[in-house]
Structure 1
Amino acid sequence: MRYSGSAPFLAASAVIALGLTSCVGDDAEVDTGDTEAAEETELRFAHVYDPEHPVETCGVPAINDALEDSGLQISSYAAGQLGNEEELLEQVQSGALDLAVAGPSFLGVWEQNAELFDATYLFTDVDHFEETVNGDIAEDIWNDLRESSGLDVLSSWYYGTRHLTSDVEVTTSEDLSGKTLRVPEAPLYQTLAEVLGGSPTSMALGEVYLGLQQGTIDGQENPVPTIASNSFQEVQDYINLTGHVIQGVMVVGNQDALSGLPEDQQEALREATADAADEVRTCIEEEEESYLEEWADSGEIEINDDVDVDHFRERAAERIPDEFEWGDIYLEIQED
């Protein structure tokens, strides 16, 4: 546990916050001056994305709008204020944090099958992604995650479709031969880089701009909104529309803490995070379209849509099912 020094204090604070409305007995006569405020429970919600990201600008307001009159309210901590994704999940698991947003690869640390939702060319489009993460296969995985760790996935939000930026135009994997590609630090992403044809190297997202500018790395891959918010278009010549991962992130809570809420509030929270998924998807898709149109007009970065996606998809199919324990589930989702 990374927060060995502060976790007990945070956990106690979270318990106090969740139990605040029950501290006054039914027969006690206490003048709060504001009955509605006294009955409202605040839940702390944390993520690593910048304050302008749709998770914050679209997701958080949508949750709070849906929670109106429920007695619950979300207070958000953006941009990694409370830690990185791994640390946020540790805090939720320990009860020190109410809700966090984390990607499948990080959930895979707690339940290996969860990481498959980050797999290369798993989904055909965003509709296929939504059907799967809200379907029976995902439900089984989320149940296993809940039983093994106490982490409870309330909802899955579309994060974006990942594309490759580079200093060369990429049509097939041969174009990345000898090139260094930055990817997140996870075995699944190491395989992804090799499927795309590059040599994988791990690097913190905040260091990628300088790495591209100085030529330490030759390319990187991310959704369009992430590329834009980090200004990678300033230091790369091409965005190659590989569409290699249609990616989501999950809103995760602590099963024991959430079960301590009244049943109507538990249901309201689940419905609110599900409603917010629609808002986040709309915002992400609007940003994807807007940035690509802007770049096409400005020429700031050249958009390469002449990508042999079938070539990359076949390379993924040759490796992924055999390299990961959830390979059979990967094939089942593709067949669906």
Structure 2
Amino acid sequence: MTRNGESASDSYSIETSRSTTRRSVISALGAAGITGLSGCLGGDGGGGDNTDDSGGDSGGGTTGTVTGETDAASVGDNFNITIGSTYEPGHILVRCAERFKERIEDESGGRITVEVIPGGALGSEEAVIQAVQSGSIEAQIGGGVPVSMYAPDYYFVDTPFIMEDWEHFQSVWESDAFQPALDAIREEGNQRNLGIIYRGIRHYTANKPVRTPEDVQGMKLRLPQLDDWVAIWEEIGVNPTPVALDELYSALQQGVADASEGPAQQVSSFSLYEVQSHYSLTSHMVQTGGFYMNDSFMSELDETDRELIETIGDEATTWASETAISEEEALIEELGEQGMTIVRDTDAAAFREAGMPAVRDLFENQYAASWEDIQDAA
């Protein structure tokens, strides 16, 4: 198992000449060529999981590296920003990118245009991130993979039973304790964060109510292949069962796994209400996403355009978070209407306490920040 989840182990590099830009490549390929480009970048055309699962669980296919140059824009120039994502149209992260497109084109009077390429058309999440790093595209919006790739010692932001709620997550993200992670993403990944997006709280699905850790002992819980997650859930007492997200429905249907965990959007989009009878609100993790822009590209813009992009990026991510929050309860209620029993009287504190030995071990032996730093940020 690896921190990056379901990425393939092999990788290769596609060298583009310094005179060939990302924009001319995509233009030459045309619409049909996007699929070919996704093969070069290592995707399977489906962009991995394309759902609300963990950022580290969204990779699919072979990870590739693209080297190239982002076109610099002078003051007053017309220019385009391409945003790649493995998530499908309609997902809150893609809606955030579309919101950014609408606002930036409006505010710039059409001088700045935005192309959103969702659904994994440019490859797995790792491949899309590497395309932004190289400057082959300008931006990407996705899960927590940039942290796992460039600042793995700070991956606690995408790990269960650490963040108490969305407000706690925001405080940690903006804290001095987490700043080295953002610096590493910018320095090593060549991309700056324009904002974080709330995507929902992860809860527990099963064919019985789950209220306390005693209810899950020995249960085969489907988890992404993330060592941190596995260690914590093992501490609680489940039997972690690694299953690819696109095989989750069949795994639950056939008994390969007894249970799963994830936000309401994941449960709904995978129709898990057909194979799981209960959705227990364990509230064990805040699921988030991030909007990242190539740092070299941003640095070469004039100050007015750079500030406009940063302002609209912040506005779009804030809008997306507020939208996701407002829609979350309706999604949970909809699962109830589709036949699931919603278990609200879970003892979330008992689950957190049961997993705490593994959490503290991760902070003592793996994470760069201390447990006390994270709690102080609450």
TM-score bracket for the superposition, by shorter chain length: 0.7 to 0.9
* Greater shift in the superposed pair: 82-91 or 125-134: 125-134
Q: Is the 8 A contact 1:161 1:247 kept in 2?
A: yes
TM-score, normalising length: structure 1: 0.85
Q: Deviations over 1:4-51 (max 9, x none)?
A: 24x6379943265953866xxx9xxxxxxxxx9xx4321111112221
Quote the residue 2:356 is aligned against: 317
The residue that corresponds to 2:37 in the other structure is none
Aligned residue for 2:178, secondary structure, equals: helix
Aligned to 1:124: 164
Q: Compute the displacement of 1:161 (Å).
A: 0.8
The code of the aligned residue for 2:16 comes to P
Q: Which residue in the other structure is 1:4 paired with? A: 13
Q: How far does residue 208 in structure 1 lie from its aligned partner after superposition?
A: 0.8
Please give the alpha-carbon distance, in whole angstroms, between the structure 2 residues aligned to 1:163 and 1:229: 15
Q: Percent identity?
A: 26
Change (3 A) 1:192 1:234: farther
Is contact 2:94-2:141 (8 Å) kept?
A: no
Written as runs of structure 1 = structure 2, the 5 A alignment for 1:9-88 is: 12-14=20-22, 18-19=70-71, 39-57=77-95, 59-67=96-104, 68-70=106-108, 71-88=111-128
2:370 match: secondary structure? helix
Write the letter of the residue equivalent to 1:321: R
Query: Corresponding residue for 2:341?
Result: 302
Rate the CA distance shift 1:243–1:195 in 2: closer, same or farther, 3 A: farther
Whether the 8 Å contact between 2:72 and 2:297 is mirrored in structure 1 is: no
After superposition, the Cα gap between the structure-2 partners of 1:234 and 1:40, relative to the gap in structure 1 and judged at 3 Å, is farther
1:289 aligned residue: 329
Matches within 5 A, 1:259-298: 259-296=299-336, 298=337
Which aligned runs of 4 or more in structure 1 are off by greater than 4 angstroms? 15-18
Deviation at residue 197 of structure 1 after TM alignment:
2.9
- 1:228: Cα distance to partner? 1.0
C-alpha change, 1:273 and 1:250, in structure 2 (3 Å) is same
Contact 2:72 2:300 in 1 (8 A): no
- Cα distance, 1:270 vs structure 2: 1.6
Shift of 1:238: 0.9
Displacement of 1:195 in angstroms is 4.3
Change (3 A) 1:323 1:21: closer
1:176 and 2:216 are equivalent in the alignment = yes
Following superposition of structure 1 onto structure 2, how do residues 178-327 of structure 1 map, counting pairs within 5 Å? Answer: 178-296=218-336, 298=337, 300-324=339-363, 325-326=366-367
> Is the 8 Å Cα contact of residues 145 and 152 (structure 1) preserved in structure 2?
yes
| Counterpart residue identity of residue 164, structure 1 | Y
Maintained 8 Å contact 1:180/1:201: yes
C-alpha distance in structure 2 between counterparts of 1:10 and 1:301, whole Å: 55
Structure 2 match to 1:331: 372
Shifted more, 165-174 versus 303-312: the winner is: 165-174
CA contact (8 A) 1:321 1:331 kept: no
- The unaligned stretches of length 5 or more in structure 1 are 27-35
Measured after TM superposition, the shift of residue 117 of structure 1 is 0.6
Q: For this pair of structures, how many residues does the alignment match?
A: 319
Specify whether residues 308 and 21 from structure 1 end up closer, same or farther in structure 2 by C-alpha distance, changes over 3 A only. Answer: closer
TM-score by length of 2: 0.76
Q: Which residue of 1 aligns with 2:65?
A: none
Q: CA deviation at 1:323?
A: 2.3
State the SS of the aligned residue for 1:108.
helix
Secondary structure of 1:109 counterpart: helix
Which of 131, 149, 153 is matched with 2:189 structurally? 149
Whether the 8 Å contact between 2:190 and 2:296 is mirrored in structure 1 is yes
CA displacement 1:82-104 (0-9 Å, x = unmatched): 12222211222222221112333
Q: CA deviation at 1:236?
A: 0.6
Letter in 2 for 1:61: E
Letter of the 2:286 partner, please give it.
Answer: I
Do the aligned partners of residues 173 and 154 (structure 1) sit closer, same or farther apart at CA in structure 2, a change above 3 Å counting? same
Shift in Å at residue 3 of structure 1? 5.4
User: Which amino acid letter does the alignment assign opposite residue 356 of structure 2?
Assistant: A
In the alignment, is the contact (CA less than 8 A) between 1:41 and 1:73 conserved in 2?
yes
Alignment root-mean-square deviation, CA? 2.6
